Each structure stands twice: as C-alpha cells, then as structure tokens.
Copies of this chain bind each other. A is one copy, B any other.
Amino acid sequence: MSETSEKLSTFQAELRAWLEENCPREMRDGRNDETTICWGGKNWNFTSEAQRTWLKRCVTKGYTVPTWPVEYGGAGLSRDEEKVFHAEMGRINARYPLQSFGIWMLGPALLHFGTHEQKLHYLPPIARGEVRWCQGYSEPGAGSDLANVQSKCEDKGDHWLVNGQKIWTSYADKADWIFALVRTDKDAPKHKGISFVLINMETEGVSTRPIKLISGVSPFCETFFDDVKFPKEQVVGTINRGWDVAKYLLTHEREMISAAGGSMGTGRPLGAVIADCETGATDPVLRSDAMRAEVDTLAVELTLERYKDQAEAGGSVGDASAMLKYMGTELNKRRLELLMAAGGSDALEWDDGRAPNWLRTKANSIEGGTSEVMLSILSKRVLGLPG
C-alpha cells in the first residue's frame, strides 16, 4: 500500500468514526428536497433540532465546504479525500449539512478571482451557513444572451449607484446578499463593460417579487434595484471584466445542474420504477425508452466523473462543460417524462407529487444557458465551425 492510500485509509477510518458519532439519526435518510434542504442564512428556520446540530458539527470540521481551504472555513480535503468523504456520507445516507449558491457559485468565483481580504470576509460566513446568497444574472428580455446586461451601475466617487432589474433570481426573497452582473461601461463592447458586484439585499432600494411557474410556487423571483448605493470595494475581479467571472461561474453552474440530474426527481432508480409500473413488463415502448434512458444515464454519469478526473489531472474542462449541461439536462427531462408515464393516471394529480418535479425539469435546459446556446458554444468553440 502506497503512502497516499495509507493516508486515505486513515482519513476514511477517522471520518467514518466521526460520522457515526456526530451525524444525527434523523439526518440519515438521504433526503434532498425542498422540505429537507438546509439553506442557511440570517433568517433560516431550522426544520428540526437535528438539522441545527448537524450543521453546527459539520461547521466545526469544515465539512460544509470540504474542499475549501481551512482558513476560509473548509476542511482542505484533496480530491481523493473528497471522494472518500462523499462515499462515507453516502454510506450512511447522510443529508448534506448545508447547501447554497454561496457554496456552489460565489465561493468558487471568490476563490479564483477574489482578493485575500474578500475571501476572508465573505467565505467563512458562507461555510458557517450564516449568510445566504442569490444570483443576479438574467434580465427581462435578454433571454439566452446573458451578456445583454442593462442594469446600470454608475461610479459615484465613493460608492456605486445601481438601477435595473433581474429575473430568475432563485430565492432572492430569502437571501441575505446577491452577486450580480451590472453594466459599468455602457459605451464599451457588450462583453467589456460588465462588472461582477456584491450587494446586501437589505440595502435601501432592493426589492423582490416571486415568480409563479407552471410547476407551481417556485424559488424564482424578480429583483429590482432602484437607486441602490453600495461600497466601491464590493466588486469581484477587475471592473468592466465581470464577464470573465461570469463565464467561469457558468461553467460551475453547468456542472452543478448536470450533476443534480443524477438524483433524478424521486431519487428512486428508474429501473425500479419501471419494474413496478403496471405496464413495465408488457409495454415494449415504455420498457425500451427506459432502457435507453438508463444506458444514457450511466454513460453521462461516467462522463461527469471523467471530466472531474480530467480537471484534477490538470486538464481544463472549459467549454466542454456546455456538453455536460446539455446532455445532463436533456436526459433529466427524458427521465422525468418516463417517470410520469410509469406513474400513469396516478401521477396526474398534484397531490401525488411527481408532476412538479417533472415540470421543474423543463427549466433545466433553459436556466444557466439554454440547450441551444450550449450547442452553439460547442459548435463554435469546440468544433471550430464558422459563423
């Protein structure tokens, strides 16, 4: 056994013991849905004492953000250790102690583009679940063209002044802070006058309104900035180069959305659902469609794994993340169509619970860049096709 794998084994043994001792029983049901997720934030109401305890204990070990450096609130795990971590968490069906856009998106952006001061200031509260972030990219009417940012942000000497509107800001009504793209130079080419800024949602002039979706009540909001003032240092990266940060983050978001595809609605394996279905054995159409979906699911999951391995080995995923996003979300839509078909008339009732998941997946191939945008990115940047 090499030194590394010995170290890994030790880590695994310690982790297993720690989890055994510290993960509350109630947190071992593997659930990961709207009613059980812990989002954190200033106004977070824990759904149970166990949820609170589990978060607190994980925070002390840095396990809410296991790969972040220790000084920013993480556990500083290597990629191999991270794999072990997820495997051990999975073994006991532990819930995630904390999830948030701060962890998924702002954190990686700050780790890459932020100053040391910004990291020290913003990351630990995310890791501790004290500050909840939301994302302000899209604007009404801009559609797939994320660089079509109209929210005007003016340099007022000692502060910024922003006016504009964002749409599709998930949980804006519950978040403490927002990271947003704003236009800081209206005369520059479209991609060159955008900045990536951080705004406290309690600032005067910030307001939100929820959006109702076809799947029912949704986490999405519209967010309005009316003469909102905020300090000059709340910019990530270079002024007018916010598009670089956004692009970097989009890659992360795509991977996240694609990875989320893996849990697939109910979380039950598709095979079991089809086997249970009244016509699962007798209808070749349903069976064949499910077989194809299963083949593709396994292969897409392996691809996600391969790209992670590649990134770890120093290879850049880059534009190919558009592939993960495209394949993952389209597949997820197919899978949920099959779950609905397998559910027959039972699944057609709101109370049954399958329909909102099904309808929600229809947004997967729109949010974070449509499938069409992903295909255009791939055709131009990866295949080098003209136009």
Interface residues of A (CB under 8 A from B): 284-285, 287-289, 291-292
Closest to A281 in B: B284
By secondary structure, the A interface counts as helix
A284 / chain B contacts, CB cutoff of 8 Å: 284, 287-288, 291
Given contacts A284-B287, A285-B292, A287-B288, 7 further A-B contacts (CB under 8 A): A284-B284, A284-B288, A284-B291, A285-B288, A285-B291, A288-B288, A288-B289
Q: How far is the CA of A284 from the CA of B291 in the complex (A)?
A: 9
A289 / chain B contacts, CB cutoff of 8 Å: 288
Q: How far is the CA of A288 from the CA of B284 in the complex (A)?
A: 5
Closest to A287 in B: B284
Residue among A284, A285, A287, A291 facing the most chain B CB atoms (10 A cut-off) = A284
Q: How far is the CB of A282 from chain B (nearest CB, A)?
A: 10
Q: How far is the CA of A167 from the CA of B285 in the complex (A)?
A: 43
A291 / chain B contacts, CB cutoff of 8 Å: 284-285
Q: How far is the CA of A19 from the CA of B284 in the complex (A)?
A: 45
What are 9 A-B residue pairs whose CB atoms fall within 8 Å in the complex?
A: A284-B284, A284-B287, A284-B288, A284-B291, A285-B291, A285-B292, A287-B288, A288-B288, A288-B289
A287 / chain B contacts, CB cutoff of 8 Å: 284, 288
Q: How far is the CB of A280 from chain B (nearest CB, A)?
A: 10
Q: How far is the CB of A166 from chain B (nearest CB, A)?
A: 30
Q: Which 7 A-B pairs have the closest CB atoms?
A: A288-B288, A284-B284, A284-B287, A284-B288, A285-B288, A285-B291, A284-B291
Q: How far is the CA of A292 from the CA of B285 in the complex (A)?
A: 8
A285 / chain B contacts, CB cutoff of 8 Å: 288, 291-292
Q: How far is the CA of A288 from the CA of B291 in the complex (A)?
A: 11
Q: How far is the CB of A334 from chain B (nearest CB, A)?
A: 15
Q: How far is the CB of A286 from chain B (nearest CB, A)?
A: 8
Closest to A292 in B: B285
A292 / chain B contacts, CB cutoff of 8 Å: 285
Q: How far is the CA of A385 from the CA of B285 in the complex (A)?
A: 35
Q: How far is the CA of A254 from the CA of B291 in the complex (A)?
A: 36
Closest to A295 in B: B285
Residue among A285, A287, A291, A292 facing the most chain B CB atoms (10 A cut-off) = A285
Q: How far is the CA of A292 from the CA of B283 in the complex (A)?
A: 13
Q: How far is the CA of A292 from the CA of B289 in the complex (A)?
A: 12
Q: How far is the CB of A279 from chain B (nearest CB, A)?
A: 12
Residue among A287, A288, A289, A291 facing the most chain B CB atoms (10 A cut-off) = A288
Q: How far is the CB of A94 from chain B (nearest CB, A)?
A: 37
Q: How far is the CA of A289 from the CA of B291 in the complex (A)?
A: 13
Q: How far is the CA of A352 from the CA of B285 in the complex (A)?
A: 30
Q: How far is the CA of A291 from the CA of B283 in the complex (A)?
A: 11
Q: How far is the CA of A296 from the CA of B288 in the complex (A)?
A: 17
Q: How far is the CB of A297 from chain B (nearest CB, A)?
A: 16
Q: How far is the CB of A379 from chain B (nearest CB, A)?
A: 16
Q: How far is the CA of A284 from the CA of B289 in the complex (A)?
A: 9
Q: How far is the CB of A294 from chain B (nearest CB, A)?
A: 12
